[in-house]
Chain A
């Protein structure tokens, strides 16, 4: 019997990951509720007046995204590692890089979905609007940012899932690492709210981050899943 090629394994993994997440809705739900709570907290922390929001809206949106999406990133590996599911996948004839790309893809889909929902909630609750240019800018920013976010998140998730208290450690490691994309994402979202088109420099910056860490993940991910389970 010949095992399937990388592309076929990749599709299989993404498809089953998707089925599983739809079955177990708790993660999606916690991400959504966490996002909503953060939005409400911001409405108390920062006076939601028109002039104040002009300066703070992009930041509010991204901090909310970050807190909510990190829950999903954290769950992705912790649940699989603890249940032994990860070992099952490691035993299957699947290349480690394929596992990495599949996990990045399925997490990416969920995080982008979450952000679209939170984005709409934000526009409604904070009484903001976007024109066409702005919407395109925002969506492009979300896609480019989330790719980098998820890539680094999957790597750090694979580092910390087996550690006691690893959920806190994950955030401590992840947030500073994400600073470059966070910084650009906020600036780009600000342009979006002002109805401006995408800035090429900002998009290039995000793309550079995404590609660097996708490449690093391709090379380094296998080191993170070696000897898994022997320390648990």
Chain B
């Protein structure tokens, strides 16, 4: 990532000479190692779930196994939406476009986690309550509303033409969105009837708790990999756009003089 950092303030271009930046280039350092690590961590999680966790627990059945994929998504949603807000605030403070790219990448990964959360949750709900969706459950509804709010972030980002204003406005929205999360949650909690299981006695078993938190860590490594990949892609896209604009300008200048 260091290559991106150093060139970023001027979107990767030496302005005075008008030279074009190098395109393509190698992906961020250690990306391959990271990918292998993430894959291994997830495989190990599967192995843990299969071997360490009792298959059927009294009264719940085996469907609860999806919990080990569901819970990490729930934690990582907050990690990445939180990172999105942090990056947004830092963008507003520093005006450095790198924070905007970080915010956008965090938004995409956050929405991915959110989608995983909803799909695993919904699948589990079908198995446990025989319904894909329950309208008055606070957690389900908060997760759904959060998705809508952050899809809004990406839509807003895509809608504004002028790059500096786009980053600015998205920065403000990214900050507002995160402030809203606790309120979305509490407001729904106030009235909803929680059908969402939060505590299973059976799951307080030491090996199950360990597996659960190991799952969070393993998935964090995995989502971080996706984040780095997204960020890298955005940085390249931005630099490419910049270079194209620059080439167009040089051509124009050539045509006029």
Interface positions of A (Cβ within 8 A of B): 152, 155-156, 159-160, 162-166, 169, 172-173, 176-177, 179-181, 183-184, 187, 201-202, 205, 208-209, 212-213, 216, 220, 223-224, 226-227, 230-231
Contacts and interface: CB of A to CB of B under 8 A. Distances in A.
The A interface, classified by DSSP as helix, strand, loop or mixed, is helix
Given A159-B172, A159-B173, A223 B92 contact: yes
30 contacts: A155-B172, A166-B159, A169-B156, A172-B152, A176-B149, A179-B184, A180-B180, A180-B187, A180-B188, A181-B187, A184-B187, A184-B190, A187-B191, A202-B190, A205-B183, A205-B186, A205-B187, A205-B190, A208-B183, A209-B183, A213-B176, A216-B176, A220-B175, A223-B92, A223-B172, A224-B168, A226-B165, A227-B162, A231-B160, A231-B161
A162 B160 CA distance: 8
Contacts of B156: 159-160, 169, 173
B172 A227 contact: no
Contacts of B149: 176-177
Contacts of A231: 160-162, 165
Nearest to B163: A231
Given A169-B156, A183-B191, A227 B177 contact: no
Nearest to A228: B165
Nearest to B91: A223
B148 interface: yes
A156 B169 CA distance: 9
A227 B180 contact: no
Contacts of B188: 179-180, 183
Contacts of A184: 187, 190
Interface in B181-202: 183-184, 186-188, 190-191
A150 B62 CA distance: 48
Nearest to A227: B165
B155 A224 contact: no
B168 A227 contact: yes
Nearest to A225: B168
Contacts of B169: 159, 223-224
B104 to A, nearest CB: 16
A228 to B, nearest CB: 8
B79 interface: no
B176 A152 contact: yes
Contact of A216 (B145, B159, B168, B175): B175
Interface residues of B, number: 30
Contacts of A164: 159
B215 interface: no
A230 B169 CA distance: 14
Given A202-B190, A224-B169, 5 more contacts: A159-B169, A179-B145, A180-B188, A213-B176, A220-B172
A229 B24 CA distance: 35
Nearest to B176: A216
A160 B173 CA distance: 11
Contact of A176 (B145, B162, B171, B172): B145
Contacts of A162: 160, 165
B155 A177 contact: no
Given A172-B152, A205-B187, A223-B168, A213 B179 contact: yes
B164 interface: yes
Nearest to A212: B179
A163 B156 CA distance: 9
A164 B162 CA distance: 12
Interface string B77-121: 000000000000000100000000000000000000000000000
Contact of B172 (A181, A209, A224): A224
A192 B155 CA distance: 37
Contacts of A160: 156, 159
Contacts of B159: 160, 163-166, 169
Nearest to A178: B180
A176 B164 CA distance: 26
B160 A177 contact: no
A193 to B, nearest CB: 16
A215 to B, nearest CB: 9
Most buried by B among A166, A187, A208, A223: A223
A49 to B, nearest CB: 23
Contacts of B173: 156, 159, 173
Given A155-B176, A173-B152, A183 B164 contact: no
